[in-house]
């Protein structure tokens, strides 16, 4: 089983690398649009560009060629478009993702605990001095295919409510901040993540369902809509 997973990752890596090279070498104008290749992975473990392990299952994707999907950020067209499948991140993987994607000058030492329909994030926020904090909330998928952490409670450890509000712990955007380069947008009560930037690769996918378990986070990907092309902008 482990060999099969490694082999699936190897084949995916070779396919992706070839598709990237082909996309870079493709002339600006060509006669007939090139159809993308189809990729299926029953079960395997992929690595993001930062080394974060992501377990995928029942995974169907389009690779290379002319694709209809439009990028959400930075204007980079996807080389791989996820049509359907499930991606699972362990608690350690989520911790790695948050530590690398949140604004580094605001928070550090982030750790994650998950349970059914609940996530707890702990860390230290820089407020003149480093202040331990804890955030409790739920992770869901948005209507446009993003991942949202909706906060139910956030507080600074061992501090009264009056001091907590004074330090800005009643506003999530003041704790974690936004990081457009990593697809993170924070407001008062939620943080939204762009799954395209989770991989660190030219991959596009729309999350249609997000569920936390005791083991971590399960993301279900689906088509943008019945037509399979990018939504109107």
Domain chopping of the chain, boundaries: 2-25+35-86+202-222, 93-195
How far lies 108's CA from each of 171, 183, 224, in Å? 17, 18, 34
Convert the pLDDT of each residue in 154-205 to its tens digit: 555 555 455 555 555 566 777 777 777 778 888 888 889 998 887 777 888 9
> Dihedral (C-alpha) 132, 130, 184, 21: value to the nearest 10 degrees?
-110
Q: Which two tokens stand for residue 150?
A: 């909706």
pLDDT of residue 182: 76
Instruction: Quote the CA–CA distance of 206 and 84 in Å, as a whole number.
Output: 9
Instruction: Quote the CA–CA distance of 170 and 195 in Å, as a whole number.
Output: 26
Instruction: Return the minimum-mean-pLDDT range out of 5-9, 76-80, 161-165, 223-227.
Output: 5-9
Instruction: Quote the CA–CA distance of 58 and 133 in Å, as a whole number.
Output: 38
């Amino acid at each position: 089983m482990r060999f099969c997973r490694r082999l699936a990752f190897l084949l995916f890596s070779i396919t992706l690398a070839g598709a990237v090279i082909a996309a870079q070498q493709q002339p600006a104008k060509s006669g007939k649009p090139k159809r993308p290749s189809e990729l299926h992975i029953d079960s395997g473990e992929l690595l993001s560009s930062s080394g974060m392990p992501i377990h995928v299952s029942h995974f169907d994707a389009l690779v290379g060629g002319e694709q209809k999907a439009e990028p959400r950020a930075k204007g980079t067209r996807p080389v791989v478009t996820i049509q359907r499948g499930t991606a699972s991140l362990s608690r350690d993987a989520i911790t790695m993702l948050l530590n690398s994607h949140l604004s580094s000058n605001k928070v550090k030492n982030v750790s994650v605990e998950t349970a059914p329909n609940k996530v707890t994030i702990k860390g230290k926020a820089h407020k003149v001095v480093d202040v331990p904090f804890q955030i409790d909330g739920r992770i869901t998928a948005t209507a446009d295919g993003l991942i949202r952490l909706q906060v139910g409670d956030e507080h600074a450890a061992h501090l009264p409510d009056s001091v907590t509000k004074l330090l800005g712990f009643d506003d999530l955007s003041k704790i974690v901040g936004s990081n457009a380069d990593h697809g993170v947008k924070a407001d008062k009560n939620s943080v939204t993540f762009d799954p395209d930037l989770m991989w660190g690769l030219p991959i596009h996918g729309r999350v249609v369902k997000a569920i936390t378990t005791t083991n971590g986070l399960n993301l279900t990907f689906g088509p943008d809509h019945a037509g399979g092309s990018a939504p109107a902008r």
